Structure 1
Amino acid sequence: MEPYDPYLIEFQGYLQIEKNASPHTLKNYIRDIKDFRLYMASLGLTSYEKVEYLHVRGYLALLNKMEYTRKTISRKMSSLRAFYRFLTRENYIQTNPFQMVSTPKIEKKLPQFLYPEEIEELLRLPDRSSPIGLRDRAILETLYASGMRVNELVSLDLDSIDLMTGNALVFGKGAKERYVPLGTYAIKALKDYINNARTKLNPLSHEKALFLNRYGKRLSDRSVRRLIDKYVRYLSTVKKVSPHTIRHTFATHLLNAGADLRAVQELLGHVNISTTQIYTHVTKDRLQTIYKNFHPRA
């Protein structure tokens, strides 16, 4: 049985109520702190206040020895830094030993994305003569048209979309709402799905979810990943494609066409502009176009 930890319970409430942390984020924070608490116990440290700079350095060394990735180590340290910041702010401890420790820098990988002809090929694959095919086409078109996350997509209800105005109300990270445009192709695909396929998946259901599985229940994000995997097998590309790849593609295509970075930030639901800036890479095709258009001897 785990020891009662009032500080951790209070911190959990702070994350839920004040920070609107997602269940996934909350789970990671709590697990990271509990792991550190086991390390404290191995050193005979009975309270958070007894942790010093050298203990934190020792924990970093242990994580490296256990061959955790830089990304995981950085996340764990970020969780603990936030926890100790909370303890200091609430005057439960006097000093924060994590303030003096730098975490390993993570190499930022450029996001994988599809070229216009590749995404077009993917969008053409679903069989429009079957209810499942119409649903799948609507899902793919909606993901590419809006750039929404897969969990945002499967959370959509019928009344979340307005096909007259072409907008969808999305609940993003931290329970934040935003409106995203759907575009003409996605609107048409959604109309075809709602009018000709959705009721066939479960004609007697009162399910409010927009996208249904073959049993008439809300589709899961895992199911969306599986259906994308199914279609990717027929693509000519060798790239690994996920729902997030389509989100990357959405952002890349907008920016390559000259969209404002701040506007793309809003559409993606990013809190910080720095998160969006990773998409400002320029594709080889874009470089070729710029060169041909502007170099006097191209």
Structure 2
Amino acid sequence: MNGLSEYEYELFKEFSRKLKPLSKYDYLNKIVLFKSTLNDKNLLNININESKQFIEHINNIYAKSTCEKIYSYLHSFYNFLLKENYIQNNPFANINKPYVSRIKNKNDVLSLDELNKLISIFPHLKKRDRAIISFLISTGCLLNELISLKWKDLIVDNGNIYSCKIGTQKKERIVQLPEYSWNLIMDYKESTNITSMDDFVFKSRNSNTITDRNVRLIVKNALSIANLSNYSAKDFRHSYATFSLKCGIKDENLKEKLGWSDKNYACRYKYVINFVDSDNIDYIIDNDESNIYKSKK
């Protein structure tokens, strides 16, 4: 069913027993992806050449950040197999890890015009998909934080201030939502069956949740329609960080908003803010509800 042999799947269950369900599913997807390139060869019998060929293969079809993640997952899995004496060598140990520069440039950040161009194609999307993209843009959250969002995490106070709780443990935080984003989620809510406030907000057709791969495909499709295919889901977070800094938010406050472990991560964006729109940014929706961001002229 999952592409692994019964024995391989038992090893995976042993490896992943302490992982959270969504992380476990993510790891499994990456291992199954690797397995699919091996012509049914056993995962325990591969060599460094096969590992190297796989990394070269994914480098040609995925973003570098995704390749880095896949490499890290597989390296971790094979380290476990090595530690437990299932194999003698980690086939990923001597392969160069895909490198992602942490310094952001103008290719990592959508301009205001590009963001509004993306939002302008929302009528062509499903209610769920427009709510997902709007949420990513207006919170700068990670994909796993969006996936983990539950209805009980959405908050509205007596003053009609909308917010949500995202993240877990030390990274848990309250993030304010623009009214437009809130309304898109509520519009989507009317079209879905909710049995409990513990239900996940976003789900797929055949599951009560949604995967990061589903979200990436949703974003990729929307960006394609908007003729912005040079961007990806991760660039929404970069854009949020950049525009926040452009508005004058303190590094410490941005750390809290994005759940960073260190405020110095803001240094990655100090260069790119010189390339974004010079107008002052206002995170208020236009009256025609077509824009999440607008410029004060």
Which TM-score band (shorter chain)?
Answer: 0.5 to 0.7
Q: Among residues 274, 277, 282, which one is paired with 2:272 in the alignment?
A: 282
Write the mapping of 1:77-88 to structure 2, written as runs, cut at 5 A.
78-88=72-82
Q: 1:271 to 1:35 in 2, by over 3 A?
A: farther
Q: Is the 8 A contact 1:228 1:243 kept in 2?
A: no
Structure with bigger RCO (C-alpha 8 Å, 6+ apart): 2
What is the aligned counterpart of 2:163 among 152, 164, 167?
A: 167
Which one has a larger percent helix, Structure 1 or Structure 2?
1
Question: Scaled by the length of structure 2, what TM-score is found?
Answer: 0.56
Please give the per-residue CA displacement for 1:54-107, whole angstroms capped at 9, x wherever unaligned: x42x3356448x7552758766654443233213433555665654x1415435
1:1-298 residue pairs with structure 2 within 5 A? 4-5=6-7, 9-18=10-19, 21-32=23-34, 55-56=47-48, 58-60=49-51, 62-63=53-54, 68-69=58-59, 71=64, 78-92=72-86, 96=90, 98-99=92-93, 101-103=94-96, 105-106=98-99, 108=101, 110=105, 112-120=108-116, 122-123=118-119, 141-149=134-142, 152-153=145-146, 156-164=149-157, 166-170=162-166, 178-183=172-177, 186-187=178-179, 190=182, 194=186, 197=187, 201=191, 225=219, 228-229=222-223, 232=226, 240=230, 243-260=233-250, 264=254, 266-269=256-259, 279-285=269-275
**Does the Cα contact within 8 Å between 2:166 and 2:172 map onto a contact in 1?**
yes
**Are 1:225 and 1:242, in contact at CA under 8 Å, matched by a contact in 2?**
yes
The verdict on how the C-alpha distance between 1:92 and 1:68 changes in structure 2, with shifts beyond 3 A counting, is closer
Contact 2:165/2:173 (8 A) holds in 1? yes
Q: Is the contact made by 1:142 and 1:182 (CA closer than 8 Å) also made in structure 2?
A: no
Q: Alpha carbons of 1:18 and 1:199: their partners in 2 closer, same or farther (altered >3 Å)?
A: closer
**Equivalenced residues, count:** 257
Please state how far the C-alpha of 1:144 moved relative to its aligned partner: 2.5
SS of equivalent residue, structure 1 residue 162? strand
Could you tell me which runs of 5 or more consecutive residues in structure 1 were left unpaired when the two chains were aligned: 42-46, 290-298
The 8 Å contact of residues 112 and 277 in structure 2, kept in 1 or not, is answered as no
Cα distance per residue 1:208-235 (max 9 Å; x no partner): 568689x9x98965695488459736xx
Give the direction of change, closer, same or farther, for the CA distance of 1:30–1:261 in structure 2 (3 Å limit).
Answer: farther
Report the equivalent of 1:44: none
Deviation at 1:28, TM superposition (A): 0.6
Q: Which has the larger radius of gyration?
A: 1
Q: Distance in 1 between matches of 2:42 and 2:188?
A: 54
Whole-angstrom distance in 2 between the partners of 1:200 and 1:61: 48
Which secondary structure state, in structure 1, belongs to the residue aligned with residue 172 of structure 2?
strand
Deviations 1:34-68 (A, max 9, x none): 75695679xxxxx66xx8xxx42x3356448x755
Cα distance change on mapping 1:5 and 1:279 into 2, 3 Å: farther
Native 8 Å contact 1:146 1:180 kept in 2: no
Tell me the distance in 2 between the aligned counterparts of 1:143 and 1:25.
23
What is the TM-score when the length of structure 1 is the normalising length? 0.56
After TM superposition, give the deviation of residue 275 of structure 1 in Å: 8.1
Do 2:51 and 2:92's aligned partners in 1 also have CA atoms closer than 8 Å?
no
Displacement of 1:15: 2.4
Aligned-pair identity in percent equals 19
1:17 aligns to what SS in structure 2?
coil
Q: Deviations over 1:164-207 (max 9, x none)?
A: 264312357xx997224124xx136525874xx567647x9757
What SS is found at the alignment partner of 1:250? helix
CA contact (8 A) 1:12 1:30 kept: no
Q: Which amino acid aligns with 2:182?
A: L
Q: Distance in 1 between matches of 2:69 and 2:200?
A: 34
Residue 161 (structure 1) shift: 0.9
Instruction: Please report the RMSD computed on the Cα atoms of aligned residues, expressed in angstroms.
Output: 5.3
CA distance in 1, matches of 2:164, 2:147: 12
**Contact 1:156/1:170 (CA < 8 Å) preserved in 2?**
yes
Residues 138 and 181, structure 2, Cα contact 8 Å, conserved in 1 = no
